[in-house]
Amino acid sequence: MAIIDYHNHYYPPAYLDALRKGPSAVKIDVDSEGNRRLHYPGDYNVAVRGHRDIDFREAELVKYGVDVQVISLTTPGTHVESAATAAKLAALVNDAFADVVHRKKGRFTALTTLPLNDSAASVKEFERATRQLGFRGAMLFSNVNGVALADERFWPLYEMANDAGAILHIHPTAPAGVEAMQDYWLMPLVGFLFDTTLAAEKIVFSGVAERFPQIRWVLSHLGGAIPYIAERADRGFHAFKECRAKISKPPSEYLKQFYYDTVNFDPLALKLAVDFAGADHILAGSDYPHQIGSISSMLKSLRAVAISEVDRAKILGGNAARLLGVPTASEAKS
């Protein structure tokens, strides 16, 4: 049974060096253990060894029996920079990802990083990364400096992604109202989940999901609240004419076609997502190596959820392998 960790994050050392040297909008400092910390409103990420040392990370995968990881950048993202710096950093990250994928021979694949604050540059980098570097899609943040992903400025990117049948993985970032989430780590613990939920609902109600039906949308953290509140969105569709203006069927019918990663380690929550979207649309994810991510918790929760062994195998790796078209490390060496 192949195990593919779809949701995890990697900071290429060259990217961290570029932030340190500047110019950059990201504030960098160093903790007591020598790890760089990347600060943005309501949160900061500690770039521990697993974030930046790909050989160490590979050894961790071997230890836990994970065949493949789908690496992506994480917050604060390149879109917080000036347009020129964002484009430069996105290209740097994607080149570094491509180098890891090439050197590690099947252990890693990657999702494209885009300079989302520049729509034209995003289209250009998406085309380069998917056609030249061989990536199957990109990671998008749930809003881009306050602009919703449903905004028409992103439609040229969606047209290209739709034509390619590409993956677009929505990952949360600082939501509107982040000033109310400055204590108790409420921004990543609560704000992240609801910003993903808001982004997904807007993509559906705005007609984007219907207009671009070949995009494979993936939602982080089990879709935020989507499996739990989808019925309410359907009630809105029937109750309010505005909710029917741009779509031809209830929201849940689109949302059930999205994919959901398992960065929620509660087996009961996982079962709800399986019941909502079907086992074919659930992807194993660890959020490694963030402070609240865990490969072992990912595996433990997926082995505990009450589903068939056939469905378990799909979630642990079969669905991601089909979606990404990736061989495992053992297959690549055979």
**Phi, psi of 114, deg, nearest 5:** -125, 150
Residue 295 in tokens: 């490969």
* pTM for this model (two decimals): 0.95
Q: What is the CATH number of the domain that holds 45?
A: 3.20.20.140
Tell me the H-state helices in the chain: 13-21, 49-52, 54-64, 83-103, 119-131, 155-164, 186, 192-205, 208-211, 226-239, 251-255, 267-277, 295-304, 309-313, 319-324, 329-333
* Residues of the domain holding 35: 4-330
244-256 residues labelled b (16+ CB within 10 A) or e (exposed): eeebeebbbbbbe
Residue 289 CA, distance from chain mean position: 14
Render each residue's pLDDT in the chain as its tens digit; 334 residues.
Answer: 799 999 999 999 999 999 999 999 999 999 999 999 999 777 889 999 999 999 999 999 999 999 999 999 999 999 999 999 999 999 999 999 999 999 999 999 999 999 999 999 999 999 999 999 999 999 999 999 999 999 999 999 999 999 999 999 999 999 989 989 989 999 999 999 999 999 999 999 999 999 999 999 999 999 999 999 999 999 999 999 999 999 999 999 999 999 999 999 999 999 999 999 999 999 999 999 999 999 999 999 999 999 999 999 999 999 999 999 876 544 544 4
**Phi, psi of 71, deg, nearest 5:** -75, 145
For the chain, what is the domain count? 1
